[in-house]
Amino acid sequence: MIYLDNAATSFPKPEAVYVAMDKFARTTLANPGRAGHKMALAAEHALDDGRHRLNKFVNGKGPERFIFTLNCTDALNMAFKGVLNNGDHVVTTDLEHNSVSRPLVAMAEAGFITLTRVASDGGGTIDPDAIAKAITPKTKLVAVTHASNVIGTVQPVGEIGRICRERDVIFLVDAAQTIGVVPIDVQAMHIDLLAFPGHKCLFGPTGTGALYVAPRVVVKPWREGGTGGDSSTPTQPKDFPYYLEGGTPNVLGVVGMVAGLDFVEAETPEKLRAHEVELCDRLYQQLEGSALTFVGHRDSARKVGTLSFFSELIPAPEIGGILDQAFDIAIRPGLHCAPYVHRAVGSFPDGLVRVSPGPFSTAADIDTLASALKEITAM
């Protein structure tokens, strides 16, 4: 199969990820921090190493500020439900994934918070001034995706972060589509909360992710339970990361994510992104002027490797099914868990066809897809 759905989950993983997870699972997969024997200590060391590596990678304020989560959605829920209080105001955008939108809308519909959604421009970019105008004296949090998972636009999070810091507002960034392909410096960008998965551009397995919590932010525990190191306190121990990390973490997944991070650092995020964007540009050039309509701007310098389009004649889900069944090509059709984006670009309710190459995708893969799409639209 030609796999071009890396915006959902990267595949294949670098070989070193499979090797690292297999070795760890066979030799060291004990419960971290729950005993003093060698295997448990080695498992705890793997988690500590992962925190140190992530802290260095995004220039965090300390490795203990990284909370391992089930995925990016888990990290976002932990942030929203741990930070927001009754009566708070939140600013977000129309580019957000449902992992941002749904918890916020649910809290707003319950009357717990008020919510303002800032619209993007025609190319899918948020104006920092629009964020500034939406902030009120009651604004507690601004939540913005770093890049749209539908049209790939990279947002000016550094400028938005500066505005939030000047207004003393907490700034949350959803880095699901960017960490690993776009450099992130949480201190320079004034990011207070950074949520990200391990299974996309960090090339770890599914079921991995993390939440970075800056020291200036107070987050209530969303999940409470065992921490291993302190079993005597009746409530969650206050020390980070254990304050927010109740229960046994996915240490095997973290080992895979760190092996993926090794690959990212060796290749560099800039190189990985350039390769994926180049392949998207190649597809666009071959299909420009065809029966397909593309969404989003064409400035490659402000995009990640995602290209989305639709046909007036064939619904996106049907195109996806034909590519899968007749051509053995995997893409992602539909609404991509981001309905507000589709409403903004006019592709709701059928959605778009999204193509997202990865580091192991080739020009030949793109050429095969282009030929298949020409054949489908010519029928």
The DSSP string of 44-107 is HHHHHHHHHHHHHHHT-S-GGGEEEESSHHHHHHHHHHHH--TT-EEEEETT--HHHHHHHHHH
Catalytic residue among 72, 164, 280, 337: 337
Torsion angle defined by CA atoms of residues 102, 106, 108 and 109, in that order, rounded to the nearest 10 degrees: 130
3-state secondary structure of 115: strand
Contacts of 163 (CB under 8 A, 6+ apart): 128, 131, 132, 135
Inter-residue contact 276 to 358 (CB < 8 Å): yes
CA distance 105 to 111: 10
Q: How far is CA 37 from the centre of its chain?
A: 36
Alpha-carbon separation of residue 173 from 27, 61, 260 (angstroms): 36, 16, 21
- pLDDT string in tens for the chain (379-residue length): 999 999 999 999 999 999 999 999 999 998 887 668 999 999 999 999 999 999 999 999 999 999 999 999 999 999 999 999 999 999 999 999 999 999 999 999 999 999 999 999 989 999 999 999 999 999 999 999 999 999 999 999 999 999 999 999 999 999 999 999 999 999 999 999 999 999 999 999 999 999 999 999 999 998 888 777 677 788 887 888 988 998 889 999 999 999 999 999 999 999 999 999 999 999 999 999 888 999 999 899 999 999 999 999 999 999 999 999 999 999 999 999 999 999 999 999 999 999 999 999 999 999 999 999 999 998 7
Strand stretches in the chain, DSSP E: 2-3, 66-69, 89-93, 114-118, 139-145, 170-174, 193-197, 209-213, 292-294, 307-311, 329-330, 332-334, 352-355
3-state secondary structure of 262: helix
pTM of the model: 0.96
Here the tokens at position 13 are 């993983």
- Domains of the chain by range and CATH? 2-10+268-378 (3.90.1150.10), 15-266 (3.40.640.10)
- Respond yes or no: is residue 280 known to be catalytic: no
